[in-house]
Amino acid sequence: MESIPANRRLWNRISSTYQHEHDPQIGAAPRLWGMYSIPDAHLGALGDVTGKRVLELGCGAGQWSRALAAEGAAVVGFDLSDAQLAAADRAMGAVRYPLVQGAAEQLPFAAASFDLVFCDFGGLSWAPPHLAVPEAARVLGRGGRLVFNVASPWFEACYDEAASRVTTTLRQDYFGLNTIAEGDGATSYQLTYGDWVRVLRGAGLVIDDLIEPRPEPGTPNGYNETDPPDWAHRWPAELLWVTHKP
């Protein structure tokens, strides 16, 4: 919980720059996952959301929420940063949906409030998973789904901080990836494959699929430099977990 104020400060500070740089990519088309903007139509992670109660857990400027609301979902956009929520409000357009500020570690929603909780490098990258996953499970109704995309531990373990790029060399200990310092006291989080399984199962969730999105050769990464450029075509850069609450 100590990371909440610092993470809020970080995203309030960088929100404008982040949206200026990345909104043209994130908002270019609906349902694009991750660093390589791979369409959900290719991955099949979310499915039909028409009439579903949906929580985006770390909505940023609401690019995903906006698209799903237009598809007929009853969406709530949730984020730690008031600057990010302000950006979501400005970009919302004709189809309105609620925006709520808070931390993924302590969701301000009643149990069984949603049919789908999801995020794409959102709350489950920026909150301790052992706290945030049980909260996501709590607010799901029976049969509800938790679907989320995070960086692969391979990607984190091969990240060269000095060069600010991902390489083919292991740089960090796989078993020491739990917290990642993001500067100014902010923290993101990463788990091993085994720890993700234990956290998800411990929250009472059933793992339906683990999709490792694989971009085609030459697909640009809009967020990180990689060496070689087609790093993610050869090794998994992201983990897209698909789970449900029985």
Instruction: Give the pLDDT confidence score for residue 94 in this predicted structure.
Output: 86
Instruction: Give the pLDDT confidence score for residue 26 in this predicted structure.
Output: 80
DSSP symbol at 47: -
Mean pLDDT across 9-28: 89
Q: Does residue 41 sit within a domain? A: yes
pLDDT at 28 over 80: no
CB-based burial, 9-35: b 16+ in 10 Å, e otherwise: ebbeebbeebbeeeeebbbeeebbbbb
The verdict on residue 168 lying in a domain is no
Q: What is the pLDDT of residues 113-161, one digit of tens each?
A: 999 999 999 999 999 999 999 999 999 999 999 999 999 999 999 999 9
pLDDT of residue 24: 82
Residue 213 lies in a domain: yes
Beta bridge partners of 146: 117, 243
Write out the residue range of the structural domain in which residue 26 sits.
2-150+191-220+237-245
Which tops the pLDDT comparison, 184 or 61?
61
Specify the pLDDT at position 183: 85
Q: Tell me the pLDDT tens digit for each residue of 211-229.
A: 999 999 999 998 999 999 9
Report yes or no on 21 lying in a domain.
yes
Residue 40 domain flag = yes
Q: Give the pLDDT score at 59.
A: 97
CB 61 within 8 Å of CB 23: yes
Please name which of 232, 143, 156 lies closest in space to residue 192, comparing C-alpha atoms. Answer: 156
Average pLDDT over residues 99-112: 98
- For residue 63, give the CATH number of its domain: 3.40.50.150
The rounded distance, in Å, linking the Cα atoms of 240 and 33 is 9
